[in-house]
Structure 1
Amino acid sequence: MMMDPFERIESTLFVVTYGRSGSTLLQNLLNALPGYMLRGENANLLRGLVQSWQGLRQSEQGANMRLVGQPSGPHQPWYGYEAIEADQLGRDLAQVFMRTVLRPEADTRVIGFKEIRWHEDPALFEPTLEFLQRYMPRARFIFNTRDHAEVCRSGWWKTMEPAAVRQELEQAQALYSKWQAAHPESCLALHYNDYISGPEAWRGLFDFLGKPFDPELVQATLDRKLMHMK
């Protein structure tokens, strides 16, 4: 019988970033570490799951549901709703996400993904990270950023109004900084313009992960051409 992923995963890791930030390079390095599997973007699939969990949690807090704590009967419009538990829903949704989206392999010990859309719904940013922190095994977050002027000139961003791009990036940065300040023990901030300089700049990442620093592995990752950049 195959062991449940939650029973063998030691920790989970999530790269929080925006597009054209160098996050695929970071993803490649993490996937080069033994036992690590960092999936790519998933179009922010968590959004719908977190909305369901957050909506039920707000109902439990009395925001939308007047029957919480009271037994309901089959004659009432919210029949049975008071028995639904937000915490149980959160745990179940996290397990479904682990099994069907992250899909750790037999030798995976650290699993996660990188996503560039975390900031697109600011009201859901903190609930999403809280969901992961509550229900994923030992969740940690890497906030990956890049010089905003460079981002504005890269990829699809350069087809957009520069002022709008800067505003979006600054908003994302503010969300990142607020979460990091509140949860310093589980967060690491990385900046593309720093770590592209060479292996030594990656030492802090290895310290954060509790791994011995491997400059040769870093250099091999830096030397590998990214297919999506062609």
Structure 2
Amino acid sequence: MRLAVDGASKITTLLLLIISFALQHSVVFAYPGLSVLGPGPKPASTISETRVGGDGQPFQLQQLPQPSAYIGDLPVSKKCVFILATGRSGSTSLMDALNQIPNYLVRGEHWRAVGNMYDAYRRFQDALMAAERHSLRFDGGNVDSVYSIKQVYDTKLATQAGKDLGLFNEFGSDRVLQATRAYYASLYGYYGEDVVSGFKEIRYVCGKFLPAARKCGLQFQSFMGFLQSLCTDVKLIFNSRNTALTVTNLKLYLMDQSNLRDPLDFALDLGATHTLYDYYVRKNPSHAFRVYMEDMFDPQKNATLARDLLTFLGEDPKTPIAFDRMPPWNTGKSS
């Protein structure tokens, strides 16, 4: 049955359709796990590609969900968990326990890849500190459109700055932080805002990625601050044995023999790492948690540890997780 609609009704209906479409698409985009912070930025393109399979038929690769949130046009992961461990202390079993939580995806060793991000971040900051002492800057450069910036450039800088125009530079350290967050989100946090991403790594200890014992503290604090800045909500878990004695950590020492480390240096570096772990957790209980290997595998303690760990992470303390899914060490498959 057809409906007779006069001209005014047609216009009204069209306007209602336009308003309805605008309301539906002004903030929420058709990408799983995507939310928006700020004035409606455009989402990044999804990853899709057509390939030809073994049977000669074309097929479409699955599109990847976008990162969890956006600052301006750059993605930032919502919640992250980083496990920093001393090695041979059950860190893989700890990682596996977290991955038993349905929405957690914590990766294993990445051979200090995030350390490389930290090094790049520091180099950018150093370069910007030097540049900002000589650059021609103006307020609003980080939020104005390119047309507004060009207007300032054309009407004020180009006509008044003269020979100093080559020092024009309207971005600063906040852009470096946003780019670093986007870098992390692209590598680890691309499954959506409901997925908690992270990694576990045994290389962020004194004498390896960090300086030796006597100079370790300052860079340790700096690196922790960097990790805290990668996501909007960061939890740090420090894992080791309950003592830094070399005899207790003999497996770790023997593993390091490929580097021909002096036993005394090993003991000093490991002791300094334990001290920094303990101190940081005491000072930052809201986002740092300490896990000792012995408690993970003690039947009288591991249930309490699991509940405390889940509570620290903001998860239901009744969520079933276990530390013993990994094969025993005598199989050579646990670290």
Task: Tell me whether the two structures share a fold, i.e. TM-score over 0.5.
Answer: yes
Structure-2 separation of matches of 1:74 and 1:177: 56
What secondary structure, in the 3-state scheme, does the structure 2 residue paired with 1:190 have? strand
Query: Residues 54 and 223 (structure 1 numbering): CA distance in 2 closer, same or farther, change over 3 Å?
Result: closer
Task: Indicate whether 1:225 and 2:330 are aligned.
Answer: no
Query: Residues 215 and 193 (structure 1 numbering): CA distance in 2 closer, same or farther, change over 3 Å?
Result: farther
Query: Residues 75 and 126 (structure 1 numbering): CA distance in 2 closer, same or farther, change over 3 Å?
Result: farther
Aligned 8 A contact 2:106 2:199 in 1: yes
> Once the two structures are aligned, what percentage of the paired residues are identical?
20
Task: Indicate whether 1:180 and 2:281 are aligned.
Answer: yes
Cα-Cα RMSD: 3.3
Structure-2 separation of matches of 1:175 and 1:68: 39
Aligned 8 A contact 2:77 2:181 in 1: no
For the pair shown, the structure with the greater C-alpha radius of gyration is 2
| Larger CA deviation: 2-11 vs 192-201 | 2-11
> What TM-score does the superposition give when structure 1 sets the normalisation length?
0.80
Count of paired positions: 225
Q: Which consecutive residues of structure 1, in runs of 5 or more, have no partner in the other structure? A: none
Structure-2 separation of matches of 1:225 and 1:214: 24
Shift of 1:208: 0.8
1:22 pairs, out of 90, 100, 115, with 90
Shift of 1:191: 0.6
Matched to 1:6, the amino acid is S
Structure 2 match to 1:39: 107
Structure 1 match to 2:133: 66
Matched to 1:94, the amino acid is R
Within a 5 Å distance, the mapping from 1:185-200 to structure 2 comes to 185-198=286-299, 199-200=302-303
| Larger CA deviation: 156-165 vs 107-116 | 156-165
Which whole-Å deviations, capped at 9, do the CAs of 1:108-161 have from their partners, x for residues lacking one? 521111111122223532222212212312011011111333222345046754
Matched to 1:90, the amino acid is L
Structure-1 separation of matches of 2:280 and 2:84: 11
1:6 pairs, out of 46, 63, 68, with 68
Structure 2 match to 1:130: 225
More helix, by proportion: 1
Shift of 1:166: 1.4
Shift of 1:99: 1.1
> What TM-score does the superposition give when structure 2 sets the normalisation length?
0.57
What secondary structure, in the 3-state scheme, does the structure 2 residue paired with 1:163 have? helix
2:186 pairs, out of 99, 119, 143, with 99
Q: Which consecutive residues of structure 2, in runs of 5 or more, have no partner in the other structure? A: 1-29, 35-65, 70-75, 139-156, 211-215
Structure 2 match to 1:49: 117
Which whole-Å deviations, capped at 9, do the CAs of 1:15-64 have from their partners, x for residues lacking one? 1112212100000000111100101121111223222323443555x578
